[in-house]
Amino acid sequence: MARITTSTNHSIIKTTLCLLPPLLLAAVYLHFQTQLSIFSPACRRASSQPTAAGAVNDYVDRLRASATFLPLKDTRQGAETWFISTLNATSEPEGEARNLVFPSPASAGRLLCLSAPSRRDGARNAYALAWRDALPRGAALLRGLAFVSETAYDHTNIWHGLMALVPFVSWHERSGCRAWPPARWALFHHGEVRTEMSPWLATLAEATTGAAVTIETFDDAPNPACFEEAVVFRANVAGMNKERMLRAADFMRCKARAYCGVDASRAGGEPSALRVTLLLRTGARAFKDEAAVTCVFEKECKRVPGCAVAAAHANNLTFCEQVRLLSATDVLISAHGAQMTNLLFMDRNSSVMEFYPLGWKQRAGGGQYVFRWMADWAGMRHEGSWWEPVGEPCPNNPDILDCWKSRQIGHNETYFAEWGARVFAAAKERKARSAAEVSADERRRKAETCNCS
Ligand SMILES: *[C@@H]1O[C@H](CO)[C@@H](O)[C@H](O)[C@H]1NC(C)=O
Ligand SMILES: *[C@@H]1O[C@H](CO)[C@@H](O)[C@H](O)[C@H]1NC(C)=O
Ligand SMILES: *[C@@H]1O[C@H](CO)[C@@H](O)[C@H](O)[C@H]1NC(C)=O
Ligand SMILES: *[C@@H]1O[C@H](CO)[C@@H](O)[C@H](O)[C@H]1NC(C)=O
């Protein structure tokens, strides 16, 4: 009797071991069906042995409990890696900015879960990886694809925010503009939750992905939110190659123009026309004498056949007005500032002229060249800068940059006229040459299709 019991026990153990993997699967399946309320309770009771189901539930409970939350901002690390510091980001597919994808083989099929109550301290927010069928207790499953952006920059500044946006655009384009656009965006700055994106950026994101931007606010925190799918970029465009940057710029330009109803068949305008635009600022870094500056460039423009000057204040243009204006610009004249980010919407090979108040050249370092760099990756020509050479000393502030950086900008009529004449003539010639090389049909075809790879 005793022997029989032993051998029976033995075989039960063996059977249980063999059955465990399928049972686990069955339990997972059951768990889903129950969540979806497809199976009635009667059906559930009849479906498997109560003890086995109990064992599986026990395993699922252990898996749930095994999800370990770690600080979203790991203060032992540098800014490039402190966000989700236990995982290495990869530049995949090749040439993309370094990213993390969940679920993926690298995450062992686990989803990214965030418990993010803090908008002030990234070290108080936490992440964990968990299997979809064993999410941590209290976690909500957020359906769809989430774009998770960590940046040391500011999502409310259009130039800063564009640097955070470009990798997502490229990733979206690279994935063939998947039928499933991002369902939500989770924004972080040093691991702190951010709930705002500049409307300009949100509109650009919507134009490029086809879905209005929904920003995750983590209102249920500290209860975790787990993303069904997530793509994380945590260092802006770091790792992205030049070709991918250029493609992303082409794609955004094309999508933004389509979104704003810019007639692609007229892209480039008349080959004989040269369209000069003054994109003016108000307040900080505006021209002191807008009328005089406009007049200098108008005068030079008049000497070039087909040339016309348009002037507008960036602050009172809608996103689409900016897209339309810059789509019709061959030469952009603008003071250093976020509004220059609109150069993205000009045709490739268009020209940019930039202006700074006193102090920048002396003290601002490499950061002042962001629009040269942007012109380069977006396929434009930066035609140089003018730095205001003189100004009254600041009695209470010996730091020339601090004192001058946001002041209004003067002008030098002689310099502006010579510079304008040079740039306009070259732009005019380049445009005529390119019109001769590329047929209007070809250009139209290119402009009409926003290619997804
Ligand atoms: C990340 O990469 C570094 C250097 O290549 C390596 O030493 C480390 O083990 C990797 N970490 C993970 C979690 O894969
Ligand atoms: C745009 O803004 C400028 C400066 O703030 C102002 O002078 C101008 O009248 C505005 N234009 C329109 C159309 O509102
Ligand atoms: C831009 O200019 C370069 C060099 O002048 C030329 O090779 C290229 O075809 C131009 N691109 C476009 C889109 O016009
Ligand atoms: C204005 O520009 C001209 C031409 O570059 C230069 O010779 C002249 O010194 C400048 N004037 C001032 C006041 O900086």
Closest ligand, as measured to the CA of 417: 4
Q: Report pLDDT for 291.
A: 97
**Per-residue pLDDT, 155:** 95
Distance 100 CA to ligand 1 centre (A): 13
Average model confidence (pLDDT) across the chain: 87
What confidence category does residue 261 fall into, taking pLDDT thresholds of 50, 70 and 90? very high
| Cβ atoms < 10 Å from Cβ of 302 | 11
Please list the residues that pair with 184 across neighbouring strands.
146
Return the pLDDT at 26: 44
Residue 88 Cα: closest atom of ligand 1: 1
Mean pLDDT of 10-16: 43
pTM of the model: 0.86
Nearest CA to ligand 4 atom 3: 415
pLDDT tens-digit series, residues 434-446: 888 877 777 766 6
d(Cα 371, Cα 160) in Å, to the nearest integer?
A: 11
Q: How far is the CA of 89 from the centre of ligand 1 (A)?
A: 9
Q: Give the CA distances from residue 119 to residues 72, 116, 124, 125, 202, in Å, rounded to whole numbers and listed in that order.
A: 12, 8, 9, 9, 20
Q: Is the pLDDT of residue 140 over 60?
A: yes
Residue 385: the pLDDT is 97
Among all chains, which residue has been given the structure tokens 């946001």?
406
What is the C-alpha to C-alpha distance for residues 39 and 37, in angstroms, rounded to an integer? Answer: 6
The set of residues, in sequence order, having a beta carbon less than 8 Å from that of 185 and lying 6+ positions away, is 146, 147, 148, 149, 197, 205, 213, 214, 215, 216
How long a stretch of residues is the chain?
A: 453
φ, ψ for residue 333, nearest 5 deg:
-115, 120
Q: Which residues pair with 403 in a beta bridge?
A: none
What confidence score (pLDDT) does residue 19 get?
Answer: 43
Does 132 score more than 50 pLDDT?
Answer: yes
* Residue 53 clears pLDDT 50, i.e. is over it: yes
pLDDT confidence band for 414 (50 / 70 / 90): very high
Name the pLDDT band for 180 (thresholds 50, 70, 90): confident
The answer, yes or no, to whether residue 330 has pLDDT greater than 50, is yes
Atom of ligand 4 nearest to the CA of 389: 14
Instruction: State pLDDT tens for residues 72-107.
Output: 999 998 877 889 999 999 998 889 999 999 999 999
Q: Are 400 and 358 in contact, with CB atoms under 8 Å apart?
A: yes
Residues 309, 253 contacting (CB under 8 angstroms): no
- Which ligand minimizes its atom distance to the CA of 98? 1
pLDDT of 447 reads: 64
* Alpha helix ranges (H) inside 303-406: 319-327, 360-363, 370-378, 400-404
Q: What is the mean pLDDT of residues 285-292?
A: 96
